[in-house]
Amino acid sequence: MSEVVLDASAVLALLNQETGSEEISRFIGNAVISTVNLSEVIAKLAEAGINENVIQQILSNLNLEVVAFDQEQALKSGMLRPKTKSIGLSFGDRACLALGISLNQPVLTTDRLWSNLSLGVEVRVVR
């Protein structure tokens, strides 16, 4: 069972061994990610020139629980737009937060803007 929801920025920080990766690594194996955020991670890795087979291996090694973006999350994500528009959260950001709200689990991100949010979900900024 998962303990936290990971934002794409958290996964990328871990893969790139950036500041905060130690905190994120503590939860790998007990973390969940939305298919929306997983797609963002894949896109960044592909942009870096990593081929599909290697990306699949990287993701497999992370052993993340992947949750499909569904109608409930779509509603929650859409309803977050007015509350988050002023700080410019993307669809992917809102999808991550919606999953955290749905699962009642804290969300890990590297995005400091999220620390100003009060949305009924715990946000842990890891750097």
For 47-63, write each residue's pLDDT tens digit: 999 999 999 999 999 99
- pLDDT tens-digit series, residues 95-109: 999 999 999 999 999
Cα separation, 65 vs 81, whole angstroms: 26
Main-chain dihedrals φ then ψ at residue 65, nearest 5 degrees: -80, 125
Question: What is the average pLDDT across 12-25?
Answer: 95
> Quick one: tokens of 23?
């905190």
Q: What integer pLDDT is reported at residue 34 of this predicted model? A: 98
In a domain, 127, yes or no: no
Q: What integer pLDDT is reported at residue 42 of this predicted model? A: 98
User: Can you give the pTM of this predicted structure?
Assistant: 0.94
Q: What integer pLDDT is reported at residue 2 of this predicted model? A: 87
In a domain, 38, yes or no: yes
CATH code of the domain in which 10 resides = 3.40.50.1010
In a domain, 88, yes or no: yes
Confidence of residue 127 (pLDDT cuts 50, 70, 90): confident
Q: Total structural domains in the chain? A: 1
H-helix or E-strand spanning residue 66: strand 65-67
Within 8 A by CB and 6+ apart from 61, the residues are none
Give the structural domain span for 91.
4-122
pLDDT at 1 over 90: no
Per the prediction, the chain carries an average pLDDT of 96
> Quick one: tokens of 31?
């973390």
**Buried/exposed code over 85-104 (b: 16+ C-beta within 10 A; e: otherwise):** eeeebeebbbbbbbbbbbbe
- Cβ 2 vs Cβ 65: under 8 Å: yes
In a domain, 21, yes or no: yes
Residue 28 identity (one-letter amino acid): I
